[in-house]
Structure formats: C-alpha cells, structure tokens
Structure 1
Amino acid sequence: MADLANKYAQNVGGKFYVDDQCIDCDLCRETAPSNFKRDDDGGHSFVYKQPESPEEETLCKEAMEGCPVEAIGNDGE
C-alpha cells in the first residue's frame, strides 16, 4: 500500500500521489495519461495533475487499483 510519508516530491498537491515503491511499469501513464507523467531522471511516475472531472477521477482510481506494487495512493483530501 502506498505511503504518504514516502510520496515523490514531484506529485502535485491533492489526494492522489505516487510513492517510492513505483517500478516504472507505465500502467498509470497508460490508464490516466492526463494525470500521470514519468520522471525520466528518477525512472518513476508521479501525479502531475489531480483529476478535474468524474472521468479523470475514475481513471486515476483504475490506475491505483491496477498498480502492481500499490505505489499509487489516495489520501482522501
């Protein structure tokens, strides 16, 4: 399960985030490309935009549920 204390600094403020368990598998970027980007230097994903519509919210939740290492968190803000 993702840990808010270990989230990457690149994550924008809001409820969704990616922590240091990310293995750079690309699933979240494929599932919700409007919300997740890759840090090319660090080799991991991060949330660059919080969902702004019900559709984006659904895709972010889908990415979180599909993450193979549970690196995506939702702190419920």
Structure 2
Amino acid sequence: MADPEDKNEENVDGKFYVDSQCIDCDLCRETAPNNFTRSDDEGYSYLFKQPENEEETAQCLEAMEGCPVEAIGDDGDT
C-alpha cells in the first residue's frame, strides 16, 4: 500500500500520488499518460497533473489498482 509519508517529491499536490516503492514498470504512464510521467534522472514515475475529469480519474484509479508494487496512492484529498 502506498505511503503518503513517502511520496516522490515531484508529485503535484492532490488526491493521487506515487511513492518511493515505484519500480518504473511504465504501467501508470501507459494507463494514464495525461497524469503520470517518468523522472529520467531517478528512474521512477510520479503524478505531474491531478485528474481534471471523470475519464482521467478513472484512468488514475485503473493505474492504482494495476500497480504491481502498490506505489500509487489515493489519500482522498482534492
């Protein structure tokens, strides 16, 4: 389960985030490309934009559910 105290520093503030457990598998970036991107220097994903509509929210939830290491969190903040 993702740890809100261990968020990657590049995440934008808001409901969704990626923590340091990320293994850079690319699933989230493929599932929700409008919201997740990669830190090339560090080799992990982070959320560069919070979802702005129902489609993006659904894609972020799908990415969270599919993450093999549960590095994507939803802390309920808006």
- The TM-score with structure 2 as length reference comes to 0.98
RMSD, matched Cα: 0.2
Matching residue's letter, 1:46? Y
Identical residues among aligned pairs (%): 69
Matching residue's letter, 1:39? S
Task: State the partner residue of 1:42.
Answer: 42
Instruction: Find runs of 4+ consecutive structure 1 residues off by over 3 angstroms.
Output: none
- Deviation of the 1:75 alpha carbon: 0.2
Distance 1:9 1:69 in 2: 18
Task: State the partner residue of 2:6.
Answer: 6
Q: Which runs of 5+ in 2 are unaligned?
A: none
- The TM-score with structure 1 as length reference comes to 0.99
Deviations 1:8-67 (A, max 9, x none): 110000010000000000000000000000000000000000000000000000000000
Aligned residues: 77
1:60 matched to 2:63? The reply is: no
Distance 1:42 1:68 in 2: 19
Matching residue's letter, 1:72? I
Q: Which runs of 5+ in 1 are unaligned?
A: none
Matching residue's letter, 1:22? C
